[in-house]
Amino acid sequence: MWMPQYKEKSGTWRTLVYYHDYMGNLKQKQKRGFKTKKEAKEYELEFLSSYKNNITLKQGMEEYFTYISSRLRESTVRNKKWYSKNLEYMNSLVLLEITPKNIMDWQSHMISLGKTNKTINQSTEILYSIYSYNGKMYNHTYNPVKSLDKLPVENKKMDFWTVDEFNTFLGYLDDFEKIIAFKILFYTGIRYGELLGLTIGDIHDNYIDINKSYDYRSKKFCATKNKHSVRKVYIHKRLKADIDEYIKTIYRPRKNDRLFNKTTNSWLQSQLKRTCKRYGFHHIRIHDLRHSHASMLINNGVDVLIISERLGHINPTTTLNTYSHLYKNRSSEAVDFLDQLEE
């Protein structure tokens, strides 16, 4: 923003205020007839203060998403926009006039609509980010979200299958395509989005090349979760042979063709849930296949650095923090090893 003042031939002053609106568009505001340059300057400051103080939540939200759209992954922005829809209840409120009480009333309204605490917390985090961005742009520190605690959320319990349990589950299936998809998830530990993002050219003799993901909401390829998620995941011969057999069933396969031409997040989850319910089998989530892979490697003494690389974690600390309870279960092995040294 810049604010030049000009002296007219008549001896009065005029001001021309240049500023960016909430959509990032350059605007100007001109006013004439000031007796002194000081009066023109005071008007400018009053105008800018009034503009800042009257931005609504809707305007602030649009400005925030304009800013992050060129800085974050498309899928991340889309996910944030999805949660921000819950904030429409407060859209018309002036951003700097929203109080913690307003936010608590909105949260109660969301609960009455059947929204989960986890969803409400996610939407509240978007609101926090809107205030943080607005504060940086308009030089204020007001953020009513800071004084509120998160709503209590019951964390989903991490669950696992052993190799025997996994093989038993596969025995209930007769869809070859799904069998291969489940095998890849269990024996590589890759994420579901990474599975859907696989193309035939990503399958090599002894490894799978993870270089992208797939966003089932936009139905498009997208970047992996982080730069460390771009990786080679080495596979055993039996899995490679199974994948090759599956590729033979694809009509005229090309390197850039998706390995699994599916676009929903329920493709495998619904099969898993339905099969476990039908046969009274130990039910886990799709993401728990990733945990099962990590558990299998940890219980067989694979180095944490290798596990971290396979899972695409930012560093081994993430792996240790996620699966620390599994390492605690193996503490007795250290004692057994020390006992052997004394024999």
The predicted model gives 223-227 an average pLDDT of 89
pLDDT band at residue 23, thresholds of 50, 70 and 90?
A: low
CB atoms within 10 A of CB 336: 8
- pLDDT reading at 174 higher than 90: yes
At residue 51, the pLDDT reads: 66
> What ranges make up the beta strands (E) of the chain?
5-7, 13-20, 26-34, 207-210, 213-215, 220-222, 231-234
Averaged pLDDT of the chain: 89
- pLDDT reading at 33 higher than 80: yes
pLDDT band at residue 159, thresholds of 50, 70 and 90?
A: very high
CATH 1.10.150.130 residue window(s) in the chain: 58-147
> What ranges make up the beta strands (E) of 175-249?
207-210, 213-215, 220-222, 231-234
Would you say 312 and 224 are in contact if contact means Cβ atoms under 8 Å apart? yes
CATH 1.10.443.10 residue window(s) in the chain: 163-314
pLDDT tens digits for range 260-309: 999 888 999 999 999 999 999 999 999 999 999 999 999 898 999 999 99
CATH code of the domain occupying 163-314: 1.10.443.10
With tokens 């009333």, the residue in question is 105
- pLDDT reading at 3 higher than 60: no
Would you say 229 and 210 are in contact if contact means Cβ atoms under 8 Å apart? yes
Query: Which three-class secondary structure state does DSSP give residue 181?
Result: helix
pLDDT tens digits for range 50-98: 666 778 999 899 989 999 998 888 888 989 999 999 999 999 999 999 9
Q: Which range, 21-35, 138-152, 170-184, has the best average confidence (pLDDT)?
A: 170-184
> Amino acid letter at 42?
E
The predicted model gives 214-235 an average pLDDT of 91
At residue 328, the pLDDT reads: 66
- pLDDT reading at 25 higher than 90: no
Q: Specify the fold of 58-147.
A: DNA polymerase; domain 1 (1.10.150)
- pLDDT reading at 334 higher than 70: no
At residue 17, the pLDDT reads: 73
| 337/39 Cα distance (integer angstroms) | 84
| 313/229 Cα distance (integer angstroms) | 7
How many residues comprise the chain? 343
* pLDDT over 70, % of the chain: 89
Say which residues have a Cβ less than 8 Å from residue 89's Cβ, sequence separation at least 6.
106, 109, 110
